[in-house]
Amino acid sequence: MSYQSLGDNQGGYGQYNPYGGQQQNPYAQQQDYGYGSGYGQTGDVEQGNGGYEMSNMQQSGGPTAILNKCKEMNDAINELRTKREGQLVSAQNALLDSATGKEDQAARQSVDYIEDEINTALRYLRDQFKRIKETPGSGDPRVSGQVENVNRNLRREIEQYQRTQSDFRKRLEEQVRRRYEIANPEATPEELEQGVQNVLAGQEQAFMTPGTRSRQANDARQATMQRSAAIRKIEQDMIQLGQLYQEVAELVHQQEPAVTQIEQGAEDTHRNVQQANTKLDNAIVSARNARRWKWYALIIVSK
């Protein structure tokens, strides 16, 4: 299995595009888009299976195939962690440190692209784990421990990603507040708080400041709008991550009732067969006794 550029593979689970639109790979070519066009766009990263090429367990079953699948998933989770700790954090720091509108746009695009890569990969890994759980023999004691370990690793990575995004959101909000203060130095604490909340909600007019500070305020407005849009995207992604985490957690136990039902059905079948055999034996004995009494009766009559 390889971790490639997400979106290169068009197969897998079809297309999932929660935002609509198209977005280029920022590492191949930087694309000019501001807070208005940038937020709410993704593209190729949401298509296909996220670049993961995993073996097909349907073609070869048994404990070995399941264990190999578990190893593939653990490797993929490790690669995803490396991407989060490396590329994502680097792109986030670039946005936090950007000083011009052009830098803001380029950094914001990189952050969005990598976030969408990770989100797509996590959904794909969830689907792959579900396939493992649905594979006959996944509850075998020889493999169940590794299957549960994969689930723990996947949930842990989702948790770490949530923490990374939460910390990034807080730092972005701090910058929004500071830039609003630059644009509105005479605002009261109450006005400051209300203004910041308006900006976070996407109300651009909150930064419309007339007078000699208009150029400075405009620079602060552009930077703040980029960050407020990034915050709104994080908030939307966090909701989906919470749902994803719950789905992965439930998969550990989701298949157990089905397995229990199968085992119970097998026990019932065995019990029914035993009862049927007992009834058949009794019927044979009864038939033999009936024939025996019939001959006794014939002997008595003939005498």
Question: Residue 141 maps to which CATH number?
Answer: 1.20.58.70
Establish if 132 belongs to a structural domain: yes
- Write down the pLDDT at residue 99: 82
Least confident of 94-108, 123-137, 189-203, 275-289: 275-289
Is-contact 122 202, C-beta < 8 A?
A: no
Q: Judge if 87 and 221 occupy the same domain.
A: yes
- Write down the pLDDT at residue 153: 97
Establish if 221 belongs to a structural domain: yes
* Burial readout 217-230 (b: 16 or more C-beta within 10 A, e: otherwise): bebbbbbbbbbbbb
Establish if 26 belongs to a structural domain: no
Task: Pick the last residue of a domain from 239, 254, 269.
Answer: 254
Q: Encoding tokens for residue 258?
A: 């089905």
Q: Judge if 164 and 240 occupy the same domain.
A: yes
Check residue 18 and report its DSSP letter. S
- Write down the pLDDT at residue 200: 87
Please report how many Cα atoms fall inside a 13 Å half-sphere around the Cα of residue 221, on the Cβ side. Answer: 20
Q: Judge if 152 and 268 occupy the same domain.
A: no
- Write down the pLDDT at residue 67: 95
Q: Is the pLDDT of residue 271 over 90?
A: no
Domain of residue 131, residue span: 35-254
Is-contact 189 200, C-beta < 8 A?
A: no
Establish if 30 belongs to a structural domain: no
- Write down the pLDDT at residue 46: 40
Give the residue-averaged pLDDT of 59-64. Answer: 72
Q: Judge if 249 and 288 occupy the same domain.
A: no
Q: Judge if 137 and 66 occupy the same domain.
A: yes
Q: Is the pLDDT of residue 143 over 60?
A: yes
Check residue 205 and report its DSSP letter. G
Q: Judge if 248 and 262 occupy the same domain.
A: no
Establish if 181 belongs to a structural domain: yes
Give the residue-averaged pLDDT of 128-147. Answer: 92
Least confident of 124-128, 129-133, 137-141: 137-141
pLDDT higher for 6 or 227? 227
SS3 at position 52 = strand
Q: Sign of dihedral through CA atoms 182, 187, 189, 195?
A: negative
Q: Per-residue confidence at 43, pLDDT binned at 50, 70, 90?
A: very low
Geometric angle at alpha carbon 82, from 80 and 85, rounded to 5° = 110
Domains identified in the chain, total number = 2
Q: Per-residue confidence at 183, pLDDT binned at 50, 70, 90?
A: confident
**Amino acid at site 84:** R
- Write down the pLDDT at residue 174: 93
Is-contact 40 235, C-beta < 8 A?
A: no
- Write down the pLDDT at residue 285: 62
**Amino acid at site 253:** H
Q: Judge if 183 and 303 occupy the same domain.
A: no
Q: Sign of dihedral through CA atoms 131, 159, 163, 4?
A: negative
Q: Judge if 275 and 178 occupy the same domain.
A: no
pLDDT higher for 4 or 96? 96
Condensed to tens digits (0 to 9), the pLDDT of residues 224-263 reads 888 999 999 999 999 999 999 999 999 988 654 455 455 5
Establish if 10 belongs to a structural domain: no
Q: Judge if 189 and 294 occupy the same domain.
A: no
Check residue 184 and report its DSSP letter. -
Q: Which burial class, exposed, middle or buried, applies to 44 when counting CB atoms under 10 A from its CB (0-12, 13-18, 19+)?
A: buried
Q: Judge if 105 and 82 occupy the same domain.
A: yes
SS3 at position 135 = coil
Q: Is the pLDDT of residue 116 over 70?
A: yes
Q: Is the pLDDT of residue 56 over 60?
A: no
Q: Is the pLDDT of residue 148 over 80?
A: yes
Q: Encoding tokens for residue 150?
A: 């994969």
Q: Judge if 211 and 268 occupy the same domain.
A: no
The closest of 185, 186, 174, 166 to 224, measured between CA atoms, is: 174
Give the residue-averaged pLDDT of 44-62. Answer: 52
Establish if 9 belongs to a structural domain: no
- Write down the pLDDT at residue 73: 97
The string of DSSP codes covering 261-284 is: HHHHHHHHHHHHHHHHHHHHHHHH
Claim: this prediction has a pTM higher than 0.95: no
Q: Judge if 189 and 265 occupy the same domain.
A: no
- Write down the pLDDT at residue 101: 80
The conformational region for residue 12 under phi > 0 = left, psi -120 to 50 = alpha, else beta, is left
Task: Please count the other Cβ atoms lying within 10 Å of the Cβ belonging to residue 150.
Answer: 24
Task: Pick the last residue of a domain from 213, 236, 254.
Answer: 254
Which stretch, 62-71, 179-188, 221-230, 256-265, has highest mean pLDDT? 62-71
Check residue 61 and report its DSSP letter. -
